[in-house]
Amino acid sequence: MRRRLALLVTATMCLVLLAFLVPLALLLRTVARDRAVVAASVDVQGLVPLAGSAGPDELRRGAAQTAAATGRPITVFLPDGTVLGASAPRTDGVRLASRGESLTVDLDSGREILVAVAGRPDGVAVIRTFVPEDELVRGVHRAWLVLAGLGVALLLLGLFVADRLARSLVVPITELATVSHRLARAELDARARPAGPPELRDVATALNHLAGRIQELLREEREQVADLSHRLRTPLTALRLESESLAGPEDASRITAQVDALERAVTGLIRQARWRGESAGEAGCDAARVVRDRVEFWSVLAEDTGRRVDLDLVDGPLPVGLPPDELAAVVDALLGNVFAHTPDGTGFAVGLTPRPGGGALLTVADEGPGLPAALVHPAALVRRGTSSAGSTGLGLDIARRAAEVSGGRLRLSAGPTGGARVAVELGPPRPAPVSRGLGPRP
């Protein structure tokens, strides 16, 4: 923008200077020519009385004296054809002036001045002088150089002023853009410094107000999520008491363990909601361990519903760029979809293999009716809150968002037996981003 403003000012000033200096330069040349012609005409006016009444000898001496005083050649053409003074041809201009009309004639080498003198008894005498081209343009080139220097100086001054004005615009705009990018990176403490014209100051103030409002809305939303998660503690407590009252020790121990896991998940959700919306734990985890733990949990339910489970899990460690809680949520969402949308007895397969370049590839394929809509509109199945089976529509979206956060992606396709196949690419671990937007709340 700064360069464009400089180019705009340069183009505008060049046009203005050309419109001003070119006519002025031409006017200076015309004035210089007219000045030289007038001076030559004044010089020969002293011979007019003498040419109207004096004899040839006296007229010759007067012409010689005038030529010596002015430094110009003086020639007098008498009516009888006699030529006095400097030698000069009888041109068409001389013949025209002999009819009684004074005039000037432009020649290639200068300007010829012809003065007709009437009053002689034998006719009209003509006094001729010549002004060379050098004298006609004397001082013009120097004046043009002065004008050119003045134009360059004005152009440089205009560029300096334009650069200062452009800087007063560009610097605040650049700061606004920088603050906007910082806000986009979740640095919600970024604020713009109101500077520049009133319009830019208003934009900076509005951006600061927007950032503050975003902080307030995020804080309120996280507190609401934390409150909602906290409400789950009451039914969890009741469920724990019920599980402890079961007669079978193995069933009670298993259900109590799952209640403990659910309670830890709720606690992590509260902590995650209140502390910057980020995982409070690790920036990555061992995918092999997390997936194997969750598959073991779902395998018990698969056995109860008559489902065959095929596993192809690589031995760990297999680090990925997701916290263990989030990866567990992905596995639970995908396997939960299998149990929710396929009839009992439908088998499924879970695979976990290393991903080229780091990370892992998690696949879940079932032998159910498949996802025919995914073959036509796969994006509709991962749109948040959209479900064609009466569920919340969040499962695949959770998996998609987790894959993208880790640097991977989610893909849907038909399985080898015609059912649905979901492949989640998980990126390798990377340093956890530090957000300076919202601090921990007590």
pLDDT tens across 306-332, in order?
889 999 998 878 999 888 888 888 898
Backbone φ and ψ for 163, nearest 5 degrees, come out as -65, -40
The answer to whether 112 and 104 have CB atoms below 8 angstroms apart is: yes
Residue 437 banded pLDDT, cuts 50, 70, 90: very low
CB 425 within 8 A of CB 402: no
Residue 439 has pLDDT above 70, yes or no: no
Q: What Å distances lie between residue 232 and 255, 354, 395, 425, CA to CA?
A: 17, 37, 20, 32
Spelled out in words, what is the top-level CATH class assigned to the domain 2-141? Answer: alpha beta
Mean pLDDT value of segment 253-257: 70
CA distance 258 to 242: 13
What mean pLDDT is predicted for residues 162-190? 85
Q: What is the pLDDT of residue 319?
A: 92
Q: How far apart are CA 144 and CA 438, in angstroms?
A: 68
> What is the pLDDT confidence band of residue 442, given thresholds at 50, 70 and 90?
very low
Q: How confident is the model at residue 392 (pLDDT cuts 50, 70, 90)?
A: very low
- Omega of the bond leading into 317 within 30 degrees of 0 (cis): yes
Q: What is the pTM of this model?
A: 0.45
Helix axes 249-274, 233-244, angle to 10 degrees: 170
What Rg, from alpha-carbon coordinates, does the chain have?
Answer: 50
User: What is the 3-class SS of 74-130, one letter each residue?
Assistant: EEEECCCCCEEECCCCCCHHHHHHCCCCCEEEEECCEEEEEEEEEEECCEEEEEEEE
Measuring CA to CA, how many Å separate 235 from each of 55, 208, 240, 258, 384?
142, 42, 9, 14, 27
Question: Is 217 exposed, middle or buried (CB count within 10 Å of its CB: 0-12, 13-18, 19+)?
Answer: exposed
Who contacts 433 (Cβ-Cβ below 8 Å, separation ≥6)? 186, 278
pLDDT tens sequence across 196-222: 788 888 988 998 899 888 888 888 877
CB atoms inside a 10 Å sphere around CB 354 = 13
More confident residue, 79 or 253: 79
pLDDT of residue 278 exceeding 60, the answer is no
Handedness of CA 414, 416, 419, 422 (dihedral sign): negative
What pLDDT score was predicted for residue 431?
61
Which tokens in the block code for residue 137?
Answer: 């343009």
For residue 394, the model assigns a pLDDT of 62
**pLDDT at site 174:** 86
Q: In the structure encoding, which two tokens stand for residue 281, read together?
A: 């734990």
> Using one digit for the tens of pLDDT, what is the confidence trace for 82-138?
888 888 888 888 888 888 888 888 888 888 888 888 877 878 888 888 888 888 888
Average pLDDT of the chain? 80
Would you give the DSSP letter of residue 416? T
63 or 440, greater pLDDT = 63
The domain defined by 281-426 carries CATH number 3.30.2320.30 = no
CA distances to 176, 362, 373, 414, 416 from 422, rounded to whole Å, are 42, 8, 14, 8, 12
DSSP 308: -
**For residue 425, what pLDDT is reported?**
93
Of 408, 310, 402, nearest to 350 by C-alpha is 310
